[in-house]
């Protein structure tokens, strides 16, 4: 087995068909981030718009039966996916560039082409784009291409290779940013769609559909991932994984490949995305605590067997913790793997100290380490 990195409306809406209403106008109504062109009315602090305008913006069909004065709205999963992809694709880009000469000379056999390409997604209207770090690392002449063919020169603003996330900036205002899903809202079995640029820019904004196969999955990387059976290929890297509301639930990053492997793709979940973006804005990088301690996972954790074993200390520059100790908690979060450790830091690191719970000879102790 091997893996490859792969390059609301708060008020109630009612139908006004056949109604003669005198009311205040001027309200703006958005459905899935798209403003309706139809007139809206405010009556007794409620917003009213034609039902057809709402349903059509969602890709649904509306039929009116005048004899029974009934409206019938029909929307299939296919309608939802088609509309969602159409709306979200406005925020998805292709990213292309040339490899720097030192990257070509360092490991030339890995580069079959002189240029690299991947995907990205707009996260701010001012030209801020999120992608994978491995899409832009070692790349020059960076160009961002939209689905309509518009292209802009881009520069890497921030990059973190550990989380495999980077921010690219272009000189363009008025872009449509993607909406972020709520952290922890993703469920196994939920329908998701990947949008990106597989294989070449000829396939810009290609979409593939699947389901969430697992959440919080440990694949031996620094953080936990979202697993899906969505088809992703080289060039999908950095593109969004979205739910049926068009919200970002992950950044497509890794797939397993092999003769006996099928449908195993992995995305960086939105909680890690939020953490990294927040760190970029606060510090210009992701702050990682230096405890002076080196540790390793148990063999059970390495092969994915559920275990209660913590992290075994192999070396330490800290007088409180010695080689052979076992770290069981980081800032009160239980840890069994490298990914668990980083997830605990992601959730709780205050920027200057880490509290470790460890066992030595059956005795449990707690110490606070000031980090560099």
115-143 confidence digits (pLDDT tens) = 778 999 999 999 999 999 999 998 888 99
When pLDDT is averaged across residues 307-335 and rounded to a whole number, the result is: 91
Catalytic member of 164, 271, 325, 340: 164
Strands 326-330 and 333-334: antiparallel
pLDDT higher than threshold 50 for residue 12 = no
Question: Which residues is 206 bridged to in the sheet?
Answer: 196
According to the model, what pLDDT value does residue 19 have? Answer: 38
- pLDDT tier at 69, thresholds 50, 70, 90: confident
- pLDDT tier at 28, thresholds 50, 70, 90: confident
Strands 179-180 and 247-257: parallel
When pLDDT is averaged across residues 28-42 and rounded to a whole number, the result is: 70
Within 8 A by CB and 6+ apart from 141, the residues are 97, 98
Is residue 107 part of the annotated active site? The answer reads no
pLDDT above 90: percentage of residues in the chain: 48
31-35, 195-199, 204-208, 359-363, range with the lowest pLDDT: 31-35
According to the model, what pLDDT value does residue 11 have? Answer: 33
According to the model, what pLDDT value does residue 104 have? Answer: 58
According to the model, what pLDDT value does residue 192 have? Answer: 95
pLDDT higher than threshold 50 for residue 16 = no
According to the model, what pLDDT value does residue 372 have? Answer: 67
**Average pLDDT of the chain, as a whole number:** 83
Q: Do domains 189-272 and 293-370 have the same CATH topology?
A: no
Within 8 A by CB and 6+ apart from 258, the residues are 1, 2
- Class of 293-370 in CATH: mainly beta
Question: Which residues is 96 bridged to in the sheet?
Answer: 117, 143
Coil, strand or helix: which one is 50?
coil
According to the model, what pLDDT value does residue 362 have? Answer: 87
pLDDT higher than threshold 50 for residue 25 = yes
Catalytic member of 89, 91, 206, 237: 237
According to the model, what pLDDT value does residue 127 have? Answer: 96
Does pTM top 0.75 for this prediction? yes
Is residue 203 part of the annotated active site? The answer reads no
266-306 confidence digits (pLDDT tens) = 999 999 999 999 999 999 999 888 888 999 988 888 888 88
pLDDT higher than threshold 70 for residue 366 = yes
- Class of 189-272 in CATH: mainly beta
What ranges do the domains of the chain cover?
189-272, 293-370
Residue 346 or 16, more confident: 346
Tell me how far apart the terminal alpha carbons of the chain are, to the nearest angstrom: 38
State the burial class of residue 288 (Cβ atoms within 10 Å of its Cβ: 0-12, 13-18, 19+). Answer: middle
Structure tokens that stand for 69 in this block: 């004065």
Residue 35 or 156, more confident: 156
Coil, strand or helix: which one is 353?
strand
The HSE-up count of residue 241 (CA atoms within 13 Å, CB side) is 30
Catalytic member of 55, 91, 134, 213: 134
When pLDDT is averaged across residues 331-347 and rounded to a whole number, the result is: 93
Structure tokens that stand for 77 in this block: 């999963």
Q: CA–CA distance from 237 to each of 135, 194, 250, 267 (Å)?
A: 7, 10, 11, 9
Structure tokens that stand for 262 in this block: 């099928």
145-187 confidence digits (pLDDT tens) = 998 889 999 999 999 999 999 999 999 999 999 999 999 999 9
230-277 confidence digits (pLDDT tens) = 988 878 899 999 999 899 999 999 877 666 667 789 999 999 999 999
- pLDDT tier at 371, thresholds 50, 70, 90: confident
According to the model, what pLDDT value does residue 172 have? Answer: 94
According to the model, what pLDDT value does residue 75 have? Answer: 66
Is residue 134 part of the annotated active site? The answer reads yes
pLDDT higher than threshold 60 for residue 327 = yes
Q: CA–CA distance from 200 to each of 95, 188, 268, 299 (Å)?
A: 11, 31, 22, 40
Residue 370 or 239, more confident: 239
53-65 confidence digits (pLDDT tens) = 766 666 666 777 7
Structure tokens that stand for 121 in this block: 């997604």
Residue 199 or 21, more confident: 199
């Amino acid at each position: 087995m091997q893996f490859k990195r792969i390059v609301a409306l708060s008020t109630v809406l009612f139908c006004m068909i056949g109604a003669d209403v005198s009311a205040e106008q001027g309200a703006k109504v958005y459905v899935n981030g798209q403003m309706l062109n139809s007139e809206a009315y405010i009556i007794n602090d409620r917003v009213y718009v034609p039902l057809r305008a709402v349903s059509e913006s969602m890709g649904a069909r509306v039929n009116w039966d005048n004899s029974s004065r009934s409206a019938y709205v029909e929307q299939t999963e296919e309608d939802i996916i088609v509309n969602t992809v159409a709306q979200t694709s406005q925020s998805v880009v292709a990213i292309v560039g040339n490899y720097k000469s030192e990257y070509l000379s360092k490991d030339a056999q890995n580069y079959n082409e002189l240029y690299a390409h991947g995907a990205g997604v707009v996260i701010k209207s001012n030209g801020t784009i999120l992608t994978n770090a491995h899409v832009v690392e070692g790349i020059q002449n960076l160009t961002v291409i939209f689905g309509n063919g518009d292209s802009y020169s881009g520069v890497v603003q921030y990059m973190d290779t550990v989380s495999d996330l980077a921010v690219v900036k272009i000189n363009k205002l008025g872009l449509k940013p993607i909406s972020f899903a709520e952290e922890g809202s993703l469920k196994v079995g939920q329908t998701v769609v990947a949008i990106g640029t597989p294989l070449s820019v000829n396939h810009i904004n290609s979409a593939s559909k699947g389901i969430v196969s697992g959440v919080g999955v440990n694949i031996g990387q620094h953080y936990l991932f979202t697993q899906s059976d969505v088809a992703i290929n080289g060039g999908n890297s950095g593109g969004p994984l979205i739910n049926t509301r068009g919200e970002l639930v992950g950044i497509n990053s890794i797939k397993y490949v092999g003769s006996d492997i099928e449908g195993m793709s992995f995305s960086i979940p939105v909680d890690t995305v939020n953490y990294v973006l927040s760190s970029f804005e606060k510090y210009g990088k992701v702050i990682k605590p230096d405890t002076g301690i080196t540790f390793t996972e148990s063999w059970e954790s390495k092969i994915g067997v559920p275990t209660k074993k913590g992290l075994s200390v192999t070396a330490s520059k800290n007088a409180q913790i010695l080689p052979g100790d076992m770290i069981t908690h980081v800032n009160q979060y239980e840890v069994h793997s490298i990914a668990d450790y980083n997830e605990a830091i992601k959730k709780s690191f205050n920027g200057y100290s880490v509290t470790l719970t460890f066992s030595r000879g059956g005795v449990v102790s707690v110490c606070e380490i000031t980090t560099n």
